[in-house]
Chains A and B, each alone.
Chain A
Amino acid sequence: MIDTVAFGSAVAMLAGSLDAWLWVVPGLLIGLVFGALPGISVSMAMALVLPATLYMEFLPAIIFLTSVYTGAGFGGSIPAVLINIPGTSSAVATTFDGYPMARAGKHNEALGAALFASCIGVLISYMILLVLVQPLAEVVLRIGPYEMAAIGIWGMVLLGSIGGSSVSKGMFAAGLGILFGTVGMNTAGYMRGDMGIPWLLDGIPTIPAMVGLLAASQLFALVNAKFIVEAEGDRGISLRRILAGGAMVLKNPVTLLRGTAIGVFVGAVPGIGSSIANLLSYGETRRTSADAETFGTGNVKGVIAAESANSSSEGGSMATMLALGIPGGGATAILLAAFAMHNVIGGPRFMEQSRDVVYAIILSNFAQAAVLVVVGTIFVYGASTIVRLPLRYLIPSVLVVSTMGAFAMEGSIAGPITLYVFAVLGWLLSRYGFPVAAVVVGLLLGRLIETEMLRAWQLAGGDLWRVLDYPWALGILGLMVLSLALSLRRDLAKRRALRAAASPG
């Protein structure tokens, strides 16, 4: 499926334009910095460098922008691990185990694992892209409301009750999250829960709410602690341990590949993919692991699952952009705008006529993934100094930066207000033993599930049996029920074994 002539000319094109390569490292660094700042999104970083690319040739411009994209994709996981702040909505699942690892003094390993999982995820997703760009785009385009609703429900079921001190508290928190997700105007045009506030029409601003729930609430609880890492001896920053974290990725190939596969297919669905792919990958890994109960307390597999899925979403959304000219999200929309500024129109015709350029873009992303290993390691090394900062400095500083990031989302006070309300809510929830992560999952998936269920309902004209016309959705739901039944049986067997072990004593 690879056009060898075009492939050859792509290699020649990349070898011939050395100046294009100069932009990889700056691009990755800009992406890392922006991705690491809470609230500043990938698309904002790309929009900011977009004017600079006007003065470049087409290929260097695109390589620069995709480098920013790749860098930002990983950048979000750094604050997720170190201070429980998901830099982007696709790094939410990274916080679940990354932050507990950091608190236990395993920040080096967690970041190393996140970095390697990201790089390998990007690499594999672009390899798939190189061979399957057209069919991949076709598959992604066919994922409609029924399939998406089924995927969303699956994610909710897998993650609905993570953490928390009891099942009823977990479900209460998840339900609350879903309700938060339904605030504002829904896809059919009904407005509810907006309290007359104009900016709530689009729903609760997700990123500030998430940062408030996960991070700010956590920071309040840390006011009486001295450092993120309690034991002084564990606060070291070690290249060897970062690389050891990377090695853990290679020891968990199944987790990595599953995450990548979920990322490529689910993450590529226009608009909503990448924020659900990492959750789904995390949930599936947790469900299938023998040590499921250690998830959420610092299991490196959780980090690998989340990071391989969110980084491979990049390759997937590039597929729909290159092959169909459909932007999957803000980042690819800006890439398309950059294409347009150089008088190139993405889409099927571009794929046919400029296959060599497409290959050159894909190949340069291989290189970016490789360079990211080095640049990312250095960056992680520097960013890890955060664990050495006393919390009395870190807490006000991080709260200020998060507030500025929340402001930067929309340029209005709406972000900071949302951040504060959800920070207080998150603090109270965790104080009384409710799983805050379940609220975040509900908030993220609630809107998705409502939108897609509503469209499915509209497609069916209110007739539920129409779901029978959608074998893929049925397949997903069937798989879900089957896998849940299996894990339930396993849990029961485990409990029986425990009881049997306890009773003779």
Chain B
Amino acid sequence: MTATGTPMLRRRALLAAGTGLALAAPAAHAQAYPDRPLTILVPFATGGYNDRLARAMAPFVQKHIGQPVTVMNRPGGGTVLGNTFFLQQPDDGYMVMVHSAGPYIPVSILTRNARYKADDFWMINLPSRDLTLMACATGKPTQSVDEVVASLKRDPRSLSVGLQPASADLINFALFCQAHGIDRSAVRVVTYDGGGPARNAVAGGHVDVGLVGGEGFLPIKDRIRPLLMFTDAKDSEYPDTPILTDHARAAGFEPQFVEGSQRGFVTSKRFVDAQPERYRILLQAIERATKDPECVTTLGGQQLATTWYGPEASNRAYLATAALMERYADLLRSR
């Protein structure tokens, strides 16, 4: 049965190999690493932000590291499967992850009994930062976040709220309720296993209000009414949406929130310690690829982030999220 498909596939494989070799040529000055293709591991299914980022970045990393780069998806268990698999690989630098490291890694440790620790992972660069957005469908009567607060204060059962269990969004909602003195356990919280289903539920009006990462809402921006952004600075994509710091000041409480997804290139701490020279080469290639003007335009056109924060700032942001998650672990677990 395979016979009919192979000529086409083989041609494609040759094509891919050909481009790989052609690109490998300029960087061929003798060095031991890397001498074979690299793999980008994405612990999510195809089609999501991380997958798109990995696939868009792959040709540019390939160009700057001099070896073909392929993308492999290993979804499941809220990234536990991908993370565990990654840590089982040899520390040779031939596999790197593109991951929503914060909050997925710490959350998987806190809620899914994962056996690794947050600092087993090392951030190379986390260009994409997603923020929790509170929104409702355009057809809903709710016009502003103040109406949401008033309604929930009057009767916590008056609105249904859609969100993902064990997520930054849930923590933000819990903190929001705490600050306003709303009894969260009485609110009708509807749980969704993934940002996509949660957004569909908001856009379709299945829930009155939803809290999900704002970036994923962009394609269906016209169908939702953004109510509140959990951040301390105005977002360029949602310039007119109120932000938490202003909202908190007006309501007279201390603004507290956690960042949504922090996505980008991730490797293991073990590799960085064991192979400093290889790590330097990998880091350099990813940095050059990220700053490559062609990469910046290409990814920009696909609404993918290419900001270079570097390992220091990225690890700091990631570990801060991990610490916050741990602090609010009870909020994640208690229902």
Contact = CB atoms under 8 A, between A and B. Distances in A.
Nearest to A143: B204
B26 interface: no
Interface string B62-83: 0000000000111111101100
A311 B1 CA distance: 22
B16 interface: yes
Interface residues of A, number: 62
A198 B84 CA distance: 9
Nearest to A196: B113
A149 B335 CA distance: 23
A144 B160 contact: no
Contact-size category for B: 35 or more
Contact of A201 (B1, B72, B76, B204): B76
B8 interface: yes
A327 B52 CA distance: 14
Contacts of A50: 55
Contacts of A394: none
A50 B222 CA distance: 29
Interface stretch (A160-168, A342-350, A494-502): A342-350
Contacts of A189: 111, 165-166, 191, 335
B88 to A, nearest CB: 11
B31 interface: no
B97 to A, nearest CB: 15
A270 B197 contact: yes
Interface in B75-102: 75-78, 80-81, 84-85
Contacts of A334: 46-47
A336 B46 CA distance: 10
A8 interface: no
Interface string B182-208: 000000111111001101110111110
Contact of A458 (B12, B74, B190): B190
Contacts of B204: 141-144
B220 interface: yes
A337 B203 contact: no
A504 interface: no
A459 interface: yes
Contacts of A343: 301-302
Interface in A77-100: none
Interface in A408-458: 410-412, 451, 454-455, 458
Contacts of B199: 326
A86 to B, nearest CB: 16
Contacts of B22: none
B219 A383 contact: no
A222 interface: no
B160 A348 contact: no
B219 A37 contact: no
Interface string A39-79: 00001000111111001000000000000000000000000
Interface of A: prevailing SS: helix
A341 B191 contact: no
B317 interface: no
Contacts of A34: 5
Contact of B77 (A143, A199, A270): A199
A459 B85 contact: no
A458 B5 CA distance: 48
Given A33-B4, A145-B206, A201-B112, A458 B160 contact: yes
A455 B165 CA distance: 12
Nearest to B11: A52
- With most chain A CB atoms within 10 A of its CB, the pick from B45, B206, B207 is B206
Nearest to A54: B59
B236 interface: no
A188 interface: yes
B276 interface: no
Contact of B203 (A141, A327, A459): A141
A327 B76 CA distance: 18
Contacts of B335: 188-189
B153 interface: no
A358 to B, nearest CB: 15
Interface of A: 26, 29-30, 32-34, 36-37, 43, 47-52, 55, 141-145, 185, 187-189, 191, 198-199, 201-202, 270-271, 324-327, 330, 333-334, 336-337, 340-341, 343, 345-349, 379, 382-383, 410-412, 451, 454-455, 458-461
11 contacts: A30-B9, A50-B55, A51-B16, A324-B219, A327-B47, A333-B46, A337-B55, A340-B302, A382-B4, A455-B206, A458-B189
Given A333-B47, A459-B190, 13 more contacts: A141-B203, A145-B190, A187-B165, A187-B193, A188-B191, A189-B191, A201-B78, A270-B196, A271-B196, A326-B196, A349-B222, A410-B81, A458-B188
The 8 closest A-B pairs by CB, nearest first: A333-B47, A325-B219, A189-B165, A144-B206, A343-B301, A33-B5, A347-B219, A141-B204
